[in-house]
Chain A
Amino acid sequence: MIPAPFDYARAGSAEEALSLLTEHGEDAKLLAGGHSLLPLMKLRLAQPSVLIDVGRLRDLSYIRDAGDHIAVGALTRHHDLETSDLLETEAPILKHAAGEVGDPQVRHRGTIGGSLAHADPASDLPAVVLALKGTLVARSPSGEREIRADEFFTGFLESALAPDELLTEIRIPKVAGLGWSFQKFNRRAQDWAIVGVAAVVDGERTGVGLVNMGSTPIRAAAVEAAVAGGASAEEAAQRAVDDAEPQADLNASVEYRTHLAKVLVRRALEEARA
């Protein structure tokens, strides 16, 4: 439980973080809440040579009404999401799902940007941002670019962020009044989901994200299409794994995980439509 030796640099601003990233290149890792990275380092599964701590960049912690969308700073903690009145109105699924992440300690340290950039298929918030059809804003020394959520997750624990990019903001379309559901099925309250389903139902613009159903967070496009085409929840749920690659682990066989995804997609669609 003792990490391999590493250097540590604390960024005082986003600009400083970017210049540190440029300086150290691929050997560096950004540290936000640390609740994904530090356990990996303690198990020596991750051995970055430099940690660039962006945890104190308070100007990247906000939840703002930006007109047609809600802008969430990348360093906003899960606890701030789960207690946000603005999200309660405009994107209640994000508020709710943030309250289901880990345990209170994790939610007070972990950040939405860290959770998305870590790109863990078992994390809750990536699937929620997929279902919400969010956009991620990345900043590099050469400027800023937007990345659609469904183009962000590129592989197991890999994202579309370049080594010199810092995730700064998440833009969430307003979904006030739309039906939604977040189904998280786990064995203990603090565990990752065996399977999770995030659904925002809005006819042709329906979004469905899957947790722990492949090597990346998954957008269930086939389910979305079925719903858009007028399928019942039961019918649409049969398409739950069309876009997924369920794996076996301690908590699920491939068969069980496939079955569970269908059950939970059906329940999510039923609840969202209720």
Chain B
Amino acid sequence: MTPATTTETDVPTGLEPGGTDQPPDEPAGPVVGTRRERREDPALLTGEARFTDDLQIPGALHLAVVRSPFAHARITRVDVSPALAMPGVVAAFTGEDLQGEWAAPMPCAWPVTEDMKSPPHLPLAVGKTCYAGDGVAVVLAESNEAARDAIDAVDVEYEPLPAVTDLAAAISDEVVIHEDLGTNTSYRWELHLDDDAVERAFADAAHVVRERYIQQRLLPMAMEPRACAAVPQPFGGDITLYSATQIPHILKIMTAVTLGFPEHQLRVVAPSVGGGFGSKLNVYAEELLVTALARKLHQPIRWVEERTENALGTIHGRGQIQDIELAADADGRVTAVRVDLTADMGAYLQLVTPGIPLLGAFLYCGVYDVPAFSFGCTGVFTTMTPTDAYRGAGRPEATYAIERAMDALADEVGVDPAEIRRRNYIGADRFPYTAVTGLVYDSGNYEAAAAKALDLAGYDDLRAEQQRRRAEGGPKHLGIGISSYFEMCGLAPSRVLASLNYSAGGWEAATVRMLPTGKVQVVTGATPHGQGHETSWSMIVADKLGVPPDDVDVLHSDTALSPLGMDTYGSRSLVVGGVAIDMACDRVVDKARRIAAHQLEAAAEDLEFRGGEFSVRGSPDRSVPLAAIAFAAFTAHDLPDGEEPNLEAHVTYDPPNFSWPFGTHVCVVEVDEETGGVEVRKYVAVDDCGNQINPLIVEGQVHGGIVQGLAQALFEGVVYDADGNLVTSNLTDYLVPSAPDVPSLTLDHTVTPSPTNALGVKGIGEAGTIGSTPAVMNAIVDALRPLGVDEVLMPASPLNVWNAIQRAQSRPDPERTTTSATAGDTNADAGGAS
């Protein structure tokens, strides 16, 4: 600063030296709420992070799995001897050989009804294979290459049986997959609240829409495929299981139960994990196989999945036929919602397979004030890879159905899709809102988020442009799609889980420990696999304890370091695990306050704690820093009578409610009638997850979530052929979009804190996926309505769009029906080609 340039008119901008701007490493105010870069990223970006397959494990044998090429077949003979003759091969086992290793079948932790049918599911099939990719035998060799070469040599004789890849065919029981069950129907789950009210509403309705939507199967396709390694400890019989998993804690319990292995001798570690999206929220055959074989052979055993194996052997997501009916009054106010689902379980029930559609059961009324609701779901077996949790798990499906149906209702009533929603939103003054289902939505202001999104998108101008262009004609059609979503996340209040027959609780554990030198150690039961928990948790602790975030270490993902935890899924980490950390910090401060009061010879209630320092209210010179208290607690030389040494607190927090984030997404597309091509011109998302700990991480979650939902709408879809072969088994045929394929996203937010927890936070990990898919599909259908199109199958590939236009234009009756032309066909995305 040269004085000569300073004039009286200079106004401080806060940016000059000595102003209010702080060096980025030492923020003056709270850290929470700042866009702090993730501390995890340098290791991930430089390749220093160690994933399961990177681990150096001396002497480990490599496991490879012989997988059934048939969807449904009897296994008449398995001969591993040709494989044993191959170079480097050490051992090989059939399903029968290993039958004695299993104390229980593979776990399904969610028996949704008392009479749910679940076939015994063993890590290797015995007698029969029920999907293409089902494991039949394993080979152990000195290298992965040798093991992979040898599986081709295992001689398996199959007697093929008919595949069941169609849900209607499955329900017909024409071919029963699990003969002992006598049926392909696993369960029927119904929610009856007031059936008479629903009947009355439909009888009295001025408008009724009946829609059928197909949720195609999706592959979760985490960037890191699955991998695991079981390492026996030198003596004592303990085993450490390393796995690319979201759930080391649950995996430990389930592995112990399935193998009849003492739980206290098992340690499970999740090293760096490259994404999961629900696909690593499971207990897989390979995890059980490596552990059982490590125990049997007293040797480390490891396995890493290939990409095509990932498509075949890792769970799939979605897979539903949704029938939804709305009753509405003359103004389009919804008076009842009736939903019936057929859900594709795949060949077996994995960890939470049957419960996934039911996680959406309570969301089919959407963000609307609906007085009557009924819901039913039939879970059926098919000869395809088991389904299970995939980002959003039941909630994207529900949101899709109600948001697509609201557009159909707008069309039926003859009002704008934005207007039909305004007429039905639950008002901001109604929160906490008790829904017809009995669930209480914590907080919300749906209309405000919608108004902001429509404004950002320039909605009125877009509608005017659309009207103008429709009058002009031309092959390109402008479409505008709205999706107002909410969701229930932060799984979950344990008592609510109990009412849904879920076999575990929904709490999370946290420990906060001051070390003698003033540093902080945090132990969390959450298990990050890309979310940035270390960064977020350190920010929460930094503000609570008045320490720099870099002084906070976060320990996780190892059952030896963090023995208690319920892991990471269902957008639960922050709203359950993060809140537990916040509470543990409070307890640390409470104890420190007692010690500080003792040292300062003041009453504890007269102390204030600010910026990492206790001081006597009114006498700021009488103060002591928290770090000094931590050291005093460590030496224990002079503690108050009865006070235990050390400064740490452990909290297990069971949330009283779910958290209910919400928002509105607006998608603008150009659809080329001639090619069927869809181009996303604009995408606006206004999300509300309450208070944000780190807006940078929130935006990352929203970006990724939207892209994954947009991928379901435009690109991704599992295709099986009629024989039950997975056609989309690699990344050439299964179209995961990359950066050039997705539009630039315009993000904004509103902030409506959750009143349920002290941080005022809601989950955001799945919201983008939940909100986006219907926005995109509503936009496409909106573009094509003038051509008579009212349904396009997902993914809206050029082929599916073109087929929808052809169907609409060849329809003899100008009066349009509201149901899709492909009822009963879950693999309809293959269109005319297979």
In the bound complex, residues from chain A placing their C-beta under 8 Å from that of B674 are: 263
Of the residues A1, A43, A188, A252, contact of B715 by C-beta under 8 Å: A188
Which among A2, A103, A187, A251 is the interface contact of B148 at CB below 8 angstroms? A2
Chain B residues whose C-beta falls within 8 Å of the C-beta of A274 in the assembled complex: none
CB nearest neighbor in B for A195: B675
Residues of A within 8 Å of B799, CB to CB, are 251-253, 256
Tell me the complex Cα distance, A63–B148, Å: 43
Given contacts A1-B306, A2-B144, A2-B145, contact A187 B833 (CB under 8 A): no
Size bracket of the A interface? 20 to 34
* Chain A stretch 250-267: residues in CB contact (< 8 A) with chain B: 250-256, 259-260, 263-264
B739 to chain A: closest residue by CB: A189
In the assembled complex, which residues on chain A have CB atoms less than 8 Å from the CB atom of B802? 256, 259
Q: Kindly list chain A residues whose C-beta atoms are within 8 Å of the C-beta of B832.
A: 248, 253-256
B727 adjacent to A250 (CB under 8 Å): yes
Residue of B at shortest CB range from A247?
Answer: B833
Can you list, as one digit per residue, whether each of B587-627 has a CB less than 8 Å from chain A (1) or not (0)? Answer: 00000000000000000000000000000000000000000
Chain A residues with Cβ under 8 A from B676's Cβ?
256
Residues 29-56 (chain A) with a chain B CB within 8 angstroms: 39, 43
A242 interface hit (Cβ, 8 Å) = no
B148 neighbours in A (Cβ, 8 Å): 2
Partner of A189, one of B675, B719, B733, B741: B741
How close is B63's CB to chain A, nearest CB, in angstroms? 14
Chain B residues 720 to 772 lying within 8 A of chain A, measured CB to CB, are: 727-728, 730, 732-733, 735, 737-738, 740-741
Is the CB–CB distance between B675 and A185 below 8 Å?
yes
Whether B803 and A256, one on each chain, are in contact in the complex, defined by CB atoms closer than 8 angstroms, is: yes
B406 smallest CB distance to A (angstroms): 28
**B222 CB to closest chain A CB, in angstroms?**
16
Q: Which B residues are in CB contact (< 8 Å) with A248?
A: 832-834
Q: A191 an interface residue at 8 Å Cβ cutoff?
A: yes
Q: Is the CB of B735 within 8 A of A191?
A: yes
**Whole-angstrom CA separation of A253 from B799 in the bound complex:** 8
Residue from A1, A256, A263, A264 whose CB has the most chain B CB atoms within 10 Å: A256
Residue B830, interface by CB 8 Å: yes
Interface residues in A202-261 (C-beta closer than 8 Å to B): 248-256, 259-260
B831 at the interface (CB under 8 A from A): yes
- Residues 673-707 of B, flagged 1 when their CB comes within 8 A of A and 0 if not, give 01111000000000000000000000000000000
- Closest chain A CB from B522 CB (angstroms): 39
User: Could you tell me the distance in whole angstroms from the C-beta of A233 to the nearest C-beta in chain B?
Assistant: 13
Distance to closest chain B CB from A249 (angstroms): 6
Which of B144, B149, B803, B832 counts the most chain A CB atoms within 10 A?
Answer: B832
**B307 interface residue, CB < 8 Å from A?**
yes
How far is A187 from B713 in the complex, measured between Cα atoms in Å? 13
Within 8 A of B (CB), among A1-32: 1-2, 4-5
Contacts of A43 in B (CB 8 A): 730
Which residues in B have their C-beta under 8 angstroms from that of A5?
A: 149
Could you say which of B307, B803, B830 contacts A1, with CB atoms under 8 Å apart?
B307
Residues of A within 8 Å of B505, CB to CB, are none
**Does chain A have a CB within 8 A of B563?**
no
**B798→A190 contact, CB < 8 A:** no
CB-based contact B675/A253 at 8 Å: no
A194 contacts the other chain (CB 8 A): yes
Contacting residues of chain B (136-191) with chain A, CB-CB under 8 angstroms: 144-145, 148-149
**Which one of A189, A249, A251 contacts B798 once the chains associate, using CB atoms below 8 Å?**
A251
**Does B797 lie at the interface of the complex (its beta carbon under 8 Å from any beta carbon of A)?**
yes
Contact (Cβ within 8 A) A252 B833: yes
A249 touches B144 (CB 8 A): no
Partner of A188, one of B149, B738, B833: B738
> Considering only CB atoms, which chain A residue lies closest to B830 in the complex?
A250
A249 to B833, CA, bound (A): 5
Nearest chain B CB to A218 CB, angstrom units: 19
Q: Are A188 and B741 within 8 A (Cβ)?
A: yes
Give B83 Cβ to nearest chain A Cβ, in Å. 15
Q: How far is the CB of B801 from chain A (nearest CB, A)?
A: 10
Closest to B475 in A: A263
| CB closest chain-A residue, reference B147 | A2
B803 touches A188 (CB 8 A): no
Contact residues in B for A250 (Cβ distance below 8 Å) = 719, 727-728, 733, 830, 833
Interface mask (A97-113 → B, CB under 8 Å = 1, otherwise 0): 00000010000000000
Closest A residue, CB atoms, query B717: A250
A38, chain B: closest CB distance, angstroms:
13
Q: Mark B444-455, 1 if CB is under 8 A from A, else 0.
A: 000000000000
Q: Which residues of A contact B738 (CB under 8 A)?
A: 103, 188-190
Partner of A194, one of B719, B740, B741, B798: B798
What's the nearest-Cβ distance from chain A to residue B691, in Å?
37
Task: Taking A188-B715, A263-B674, A263-B675 as given, write out 20 further A-B residue pairs in contact, using a Cβ cutoff of 8 Å, ordered by the A residue number.
Answer: A1-B308, A2-B144, A39-B732, A187-B797, A187-B798, A188-B738, A188-B741, A189-B741, A191-B735, A249-B833, A250-B728, A250-B733, A251-B799, A252-B799, A253-B799, A253-B831, A253-B832, A255-B832, A256-B798, A256-B799
A-B residue pairs in contact (CB < 8 Å), sample of 23: A2-B144, A2-B148, A4-B149, A39-B732, A43-B730, A185-B675, A185-B677, A185-B798, A187-B798, A188-B737, A188-B738, A190-B738, A191-B735, A250-B727, A250-B833, A251-B799, A253-B831, A256-B676, A256-B798, A256-B799, A256-B831, A256-B832, A263-B674
